[in-house]
């Protein structure tokens, strides 16, 4: 190779390197939506890996991608938005960062990349919504996207957003009223746990469910019940029902039994692939037996929980379910409903598998304890439990 050729090859590689290092342009950033949910669309000149997550103090959404040149003339955003400021900077190591500061705590509902098609450029889309500070804190450990590992940003610059027409991506209008799915456990040929006074779990949970429905509807919620009479509904059917109706929350109501008759108190559970403890694993086993009792063929089992949880959107739902579970526990406690344990627990409950709906299972108490089963058979106590559940739902949706 002659000296001249060597120089040319070197130059060619050098230019190629430069070209790669600065290959990506951010050509537009659009923000749109309404009070319920907003959408951030980042238009790119090419494909890029990305990751999106939230941080607090100040509240902000972070979108990391390949290092980019900022070619955005002006930010496109509606007159009313949760977005306060948009900043960007280089992270070094070939990575760039967008920082979207928000005026309230927010949670990322979904984040995805769209390849260029139909005259539209490559895009990164982040859907986010207002939430509570507590829920945002829960979400700070979650990341969406296909990029991993990056440092803190340096020399981020400020860009003042300007008013502009709505972006093209539109949202369906917000549902006027939140839809709560109440799922009274068992029913029909499956009585559930048997109380020492002869009461059935299926009857107690239906009574509480109907009371909760009444209270929720009174304060402006929509309610659908998986059953409102003494009928058997398979577990998978309850999940499908909730999804078909488009529920915003799913609450499964139960009352447990245990060999030690001195154990009392309510407990709250969420879905997980690994049970939080042995007792919860056994409880999930008991509750999942409902289908067996009715003689349903379980050879076509639903997807394993671990597989479901790979889905990032599902992880967001899990955060919300955990937040709801914690809220229910503290609210029951402060409403003089005895709780067994101040921690919520989790296991593979088949009825909690609606992965796009925050879902919890509430065991209202132990029917194997005489005092507790008598309390639960008393309508005044059931009203108290229902009020506490309603108050938790209010808190979840930040009604107060």
For Zn ion, the binding residues (CB under 5 A) are 185, 192, 254, 287
Q: Least distance (Å) from Zn ion to the CB of residue 60?
A: 42
Q: Least distance (Å) from Zn ion to the CB of residue 287?
A: 5
Strands (E), 67-178: 68-70, 83-92, 95-102, 106-114, 122-130, 144-145, 154-159
Residue closest to Zn ion, measured at CB:
254
Nearer to Zn ion, 158 or 231 (CB): 231
Q: Least distance (Å) from Zn ion to the CB of residue 400?
A: 31
Return the DSSP state at 45. S
Q: Least distance (Å) from Zn ion to the CB of residue 238?
A: 12
Q: Least distance (Å) from Zn ion to the CB of residue 186?
A: 6
Nearer to Zn ion, 63 or 206 (CB): 206
Please list, in sequence order, all residues whose beta carbon lies within 8 angstroms of the beta carbon of residue 9, skipping any fewer than 6 positions away: 1
Nearer to Zn ion, 187 or 192 (CB): 192
Nearer to Zn ion, 254 or 395 (CB): 254
Beta bridge partners of 347: 271
Token look-up 């979904």 returns 110
**Bridging pattern class, strands 249-256 and 359-366:** parallel
Q: How far apart are CA 250 and CA 321, in angstroms?
A: 9
Q: Least distance (Å) from Zn ion to the CB of residue 120?
A: 49
Nearer to Zn ion, 389 or 391 (CB): 389
Nearer to Zn ion, 211 or 287 (CB): 287
CB-CB contact of 339 with 333 (8 Å): yes
For residue 86, which of 125, 30, 124, 141 has the smallest C-alpha distance?
30
Q: How far apart are CA 359 and CA 353, in angstroms?
A: 8
Asked, as a colleague might, if the bond just before 304 is cis with ω within 30 of 0, I would say no
Sheet holding 24-33, edge to edge: 68-70, 24-33, 38-44, 122-130, 106-114
Q: Least distance (Å) from Zn ion to the CB of residue 214?
A: 22
For residue 293, what are its two tokens?
Answer: 């009792």
User: Phi and psi at residue 375, in whole multiples of 5°?
Assistant: -60, -50
Nearer to Zn ion, 33 or 187 (CB): 187
Nearer to Zn ion, 192 or 358 (CB): 192
Q: Least distance (Å) from Zn ion to the CB of residue 201?
A: 5
């Amino acid at each position: 190779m002659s000296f001249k050729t060597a120089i040319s090859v070197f130059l060619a590689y050098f230019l190629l390197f430069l070209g790669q290092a600065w290959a990506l342009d951010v050509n537009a950033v659009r923000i749109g939506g309404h009070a319920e949910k907003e959408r951030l669309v980042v238009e790119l000149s090419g494909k890029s890996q990305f990751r999106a997550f939230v941080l607090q103090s100040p509240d902000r959404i972070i979108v990391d991608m390949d290092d980019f040149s900022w070619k955005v003339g002006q930010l496109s955003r509606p007159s009313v938005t949760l977005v306060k400021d948009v900043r960007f900077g280089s992270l070094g190591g070939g990575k760039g960062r967008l920082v979207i500061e928000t005026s309230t705590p927010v949670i990322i509902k979904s984040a995805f990349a769209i390849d260029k098609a139909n005259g539209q450029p490559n895009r990164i889309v982040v859907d986010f919504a207002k939430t509570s500070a507590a829920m945002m804190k829960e979400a700070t450990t979650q990341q969406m996207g296909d990029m991993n590992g990056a440092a803190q940003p340096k020399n981020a610059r400020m860009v003042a957003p300007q008013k502009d027409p709505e972006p093209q991506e539109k949202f369906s209008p917000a549902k006027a009223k939140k839809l709560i799915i109440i799922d009274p456990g068992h029913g029909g040929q499956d009585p559930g746990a048997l109380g020492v006074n002869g009461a059935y779990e299926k009857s107690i949970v239906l009574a509480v469910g109907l009371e909760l429905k009444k209270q929720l509807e009174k304060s402006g919620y929509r309610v659908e019940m998986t059953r409102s009479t003494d009928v058997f509904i398979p577990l998978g059917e309850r999940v499908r029902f909730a999804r078909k109706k488009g529920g915003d929350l799913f609450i499964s109501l139960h009352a447990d039994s245990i060999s030690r008759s001195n154990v009392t108190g309510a407990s709250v559970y969420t879905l997980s692939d690994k049970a939080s403890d042995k007792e919860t694993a056994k409880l999930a086993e008991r509750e999942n037996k409902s289908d067996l009792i009715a003689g349903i063929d379980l050879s076509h089992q639903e997807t394993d929980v671990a597989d479901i949880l790979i889905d990032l959107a599902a992880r967001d739902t899990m955060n919300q379910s955990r937040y709801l579970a914690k809220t229910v526990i503290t609210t029951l406690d402060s409403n003089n409903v005895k709780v067994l344990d101040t921690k919520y627990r989790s296991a593979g409950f088949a009825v909690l598998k609606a992965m796009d709906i925050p879902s919890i299972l509430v065991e209202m108490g132990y029917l194997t304890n005489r005092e507790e089963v008598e309390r639960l058979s008393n309508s005044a106590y059931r009203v108290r439990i229902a009020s506490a559940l309603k108050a938790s739902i209010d808190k979840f949706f930040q009604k107060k």
